[in-house]
Amino acid sequence: MARVHTVQQILQIFIFFTLVLCSITSLVSANRDLNEDNWKEILEGEWMVKFYAPWCPACTALAPAWRELAARAGRSKLSLRTAAVDVTRSPGLSGRFMVTALPTIFHVKDGSFRQYKGPRDVESLLSFVEQARWRQAAAVPGWQAPDSLQMSLVAELFKLSQALRTVHTTLMETYGLPTWGSYLIFAIATIFIGAILGLVLVCVIDLLYPPRRAHKLQLSQAELASARSKPDEEELIAEDIVDDSERAGSDAERHSASDTSSEGGAPSGDARPERTDTPAKCDDDPKAISVGVT
């Protein structure tokens, strides 16, 4: 009898630990910790995602309700799963979702994102899913979706800002630099990096769009040659004009000389005097006689 009693106790303990293990396993599987590597899992199915930080008091107050939500979602017939993002460990995800306040809750349904802005108790969270109240909330537009290209760039900027903040903290706490000293180092580094990037950009532009200096030089030489040839052409034109004027002058002189010779008394060449008949009267002869007078 003692052995039978001992076996029953062992079976009870085994069953108890099995149930505890199953509940812990379901709770862990429901509370999925998201990071930069596995966050795309929420693009399929229905999820409730919480963004939190360990130093946030409101996030700490939400933790019990979130654990209960995960447990009830696992026991219910809903296909709902819960996930959580620690923004201190995954700053890129906070940039993708444009999280500006903590805690922030998103409802995700087959890749469609909606921010939950209702009460943060378990009943309100469950009714938001069971009664499909998420249909009344406006979905995040496509250009602002976490899986878009522009939000990927924003995520990288958030990562860079977090890295710079870590460096700033290290310079002050580890090396004992004052705040202005850390800012001075960042300013010098920014100027130096900007100069390098500007030089690289200029080189790339020159490589893609080379300057047309040779073409401009050829054009300038051609213009210079044409400018030099213009005076010669003008001189030739002037000489032609002078020759034409001289010829015109000589012709005018010839014509004027011939006119003066014809108008004067002295005959020239084959020019003969004209003969005129004038009537004359003689006192002795009563009749009029026509004589030719030269």
Say if CB 51 and CB 7 are below 8 A apart. no
Residues catalogued as catalytic: 56, 59
Q: What is the pLDDT of residue 124?
A: 92
Residue 244: pLDDT band (50, 70, 90) is low
Mean pLDDT score, 224-241? 58
Say if CB 124 and CB 134 are below 8 A apart. no
Q: What is the pLDDT of residue 271?
A: 45
In the numeric block, the tokens 């201190």 are attached to: 88
Residue 25: pLDDT band (50, 70, 90) is very low
Q: In this model, does residue 172 exceed pLDDT 60?
A: yes
> Residues 57-110: pLDDT tens digits?
999 999 999 999 988 887 777 788 999 999 988 888 988 998 989 999 999 998
Mean pLDDT score, 249-271? 49
How many Cβ atoms are within 10 Å of 85's Cβ, its own excluded? 27
94 closest CA partner among 154, 38, 137, 163: 154
Q: Of the spans 56-65, 261-270, 273-282, which averages the highest pLDDT?
A: 56-65
**pTM for this prediction:** 0.55
| Selected residue with higher pLDDT from 9 and 129 | 129
Domains of the chain, residue spans: 30-141, 152-208
> Residues 134-165: pLDDT tens digits?
999 889 988 888 888 888 888 888 888 878 88
Q: Specify the CATH architecture of the domain 30-141.
A: 3-Layer(aba) Sandwich (3.40)
Q: What is the pLDDT of residue 27?
A: 42
Q: Which helix (H) or strand (E) holds 180?
A: helix 179-208
Which 3 state secondary structure label does DSSP give 117? coil
